[in-house]
Amino acid sequence: MACIIFFRQNFSQVTNPPIDSLRERHVMTLRTRLGNLGNILDEAPEQCDHLLLHSPVLTVPEWDALCLYLGDKAATIDCTFVDDGSDHAFNAALERIQAEAEEAVRSGCEHVMLTDRNVSEDRVPLPMILAIGAVHSHLVRQQLRTFASVNVASGECLDVHHFAVLIGVGATTVNAYVAEAAIADRQVRGLLPGLEIADAVANYRKAVEDGLLKIMSKMGISVITSYRGGYNFEALGLSRSLVATYFPPMSSRISGLGLKGIAAGVLAMHKKAFAVDDVHLPVGGFFPLSQIQRAACL
């Protein structure tokens, strides 16, 4: 179940956009710092020991290179779990990644890498928005969040809104590896004539970055650092207790699903994805002929 459907972007309600993301591009930036930010009021050499990226959107080669470059300073946390048939497997997985993230940061890790790449027929992926929200809020409560970056490699992240929600609930960088695999598949099948795979991925990344800048501008935010962890959303159809636990500052005017309901949706989708029979996507926008005829008469 993609948790993205439960979040609605906020905006600054004025007569004109607070910032024009096209005309005022010189005041807007997606530059992202990775490392132990510590106390911004301290003056120490460690304050300059940061990795600066031009964008929080990472391609697969960049993610792999980043993990290799960070080495022992990074801790990779698996965001999948084994469904043992109990009602506590989903909750236990969330508690596990929270505990592993806290232990890693307390032991000196400066970069937490959350990934669901280990998904298989036996391992179910956690919704990455819920996973990043759980880790980010937990580290904030433990007063550890500024000591490490939290990076995400997500298979369910496809569009700009998903990137924005992940960053908005605490992600430092995001790698949408399945989206890139889909682009590569289309290029191999000749559906992207005249485009090399590198150019196609670059176009996708540019579109996501422009979309992030436009979303930020609607809130009057010019730098991605101010948007990260700002929870500039309204939850729709999520349990208020769940929102209070994993997305603390966010409002939830319409309550709904809790962890049990989300877990049921995740397991059902995973079972369907790994079914023996070929999976056929349902045809969207289907209307019975009688309804079409009735609409024509009106």
Using an 8 Å Cβ cutoff, are 112 and 77 in contact?
A: yes
- Region 254-279 average pLDDT: 84
Tens of pLDDT, residue by residue over 77-122, are 999 999 888 878 999 999 999 999 999 999 989 999 999 999 999 9
pTM above 0.85, yes or no: yes
Residue 5 in tokens: 């459907």
Q: Which domains does the chain have, with CATH numbers?
A: 3-297 (3.20.20.70)
Per-residue pLDDT at 288: 54
Q: How far is CA 195 from CA 111, 177, 199, 200, 248, in A?
A: 35, 19, 6, 6, 44
Q: H or E stretch including 211?
A: helix 197-218
- Region 31-51 average pLDDT: 73
Q: Which of 113, 112, 126, 193 has the alpha carbon at shortest distance from 155? A: 126
pLDDT range class, residue 298, cuts 50, 70, 90: very low
Residue 77 in tokens: 């946390």
Using an 8 Å Cβ cutoff, are 148 and 114 in contact?
A: no
Tens of pLDDT, residue by residue over 23-38, are 887 889 999 988 776 6
Per-residue pLDDT at 291: 45
Sign of CA dihedral 107, 139, 218, 5: positive
According to DSSP, the residues that pair with 149 across neighbouring strands are 111
